[in-house]
């Protein structure tokens, strides 16, 4: 019995060590503000969850609390082809300015960044780059919401922003 307890304890400690271990490129701190992020998976369909059955909506709610200006660049890629998703942004992405005369809060709907002429569903990856004033004063929450039968029958998940190493090129 004592041997099983010892093995269980060792296995637990190893698991905790792996969970707590991070490389310097994975840490986002105030000393080294991260300016590039990735959303590893999103789904978007033609139609909003409020008026379309079985719709997927990905929305990013952003807030800039700095005193200067900042620009968020978003590029969406199709998971199946690896190519940029057709739409108004193309391969260079869409720029969203913050601060100065620009708004400090935005709701960015990925549906507005996609062209659904040739297909009704996109499964993708999003790359986000912050340029300008201190990126640590920028906050973003991204939600993927799915409607089933109506706008009151919903499920959602918060999509995490994964920091990318400095100098990352897409």
Q: What is the signed CA dihedral for 144, 149, 151, 154, rounded to 10 degrees?
A: -40
Number of domains in the chain: 1
Tokens of 109: 């709907």
Tell me, yes or no, whether 7 lies in a domain.
no
Tell me, yes or no, whether 108 lies in a domain.
yes
Tell me, yes or no, whether 169 lies in a domain.
no
Tell me, yes or no, whether 3 lies in a domain.
no
Under DSSP, the state recorded for 66 is -
User: What CATH number is associated with residue 156?
Assistant: 2.60.290.11
| Residues constituting the chain | 170
Residue span of the structural domain in which 159 resides: 29-163
Q: What does the pLDDT read at residue 23?
A: 43
Whether 100 contacts 69, CB under 8 Å: yes
Mean pLDDT by groups of 10 residues along the chain of 170 residues = 56 50 43 77 87 87 89 93 90 91 92 90 91 80 83 80 75
Q: What does the pLDDT read at residue 22?
A: 43
Q: What does the pLDDT read at residue 161?
A: 86
Tell me, yes or no, whether 45 lies in a domain.
yes
Cα–Cα distance for residue pair 18/83, rounded to 1 Å: 34
Tell me, yes or no, whether 4 lies in a domain.
no
Tell me, yes or no, whether 8 lies in a domain.
no
Cα 43 vs. chain centroid, distance in angstroms? 11
Q: What does the pLDDT read at residue 138?
A: 86
């Amino acid at each position: 019995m004592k041997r099983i307890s010892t093995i269980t304890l060792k296995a637990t400690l190893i698991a905790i060590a792996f969970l707590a271990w991070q490389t310097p490129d994975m840490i986002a701190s105030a000393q080294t503000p991260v300016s590039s992020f990735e959303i590893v998976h999103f789904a978007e369909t033609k139609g909003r969850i409020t008026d379309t059955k079985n719709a997927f909506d990905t929305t990013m709610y952003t807030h800039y609390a700095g005193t200067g200006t900042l620009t968020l660049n978003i590029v969406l890629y199709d998971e199946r082809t690896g190519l940029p998703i057709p739409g108004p942004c193309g391969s260079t992405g869409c720029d969203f300015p913050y601060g100065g005369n620009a708004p400090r809060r935005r709701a960015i709907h990925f549906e507005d960044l996609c062209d659904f002429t040739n297909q009704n569903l996109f499964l993708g990856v999003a790359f986000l780059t912050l340029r300008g004033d201190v990126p640590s004063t920028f906050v973003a929450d991204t939600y993927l919401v799915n409607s089933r039968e109506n706008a009151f029958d919903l499920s959602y998940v918060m999509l995490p922003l994964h920091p990318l190493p400095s100098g990352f090129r897409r």
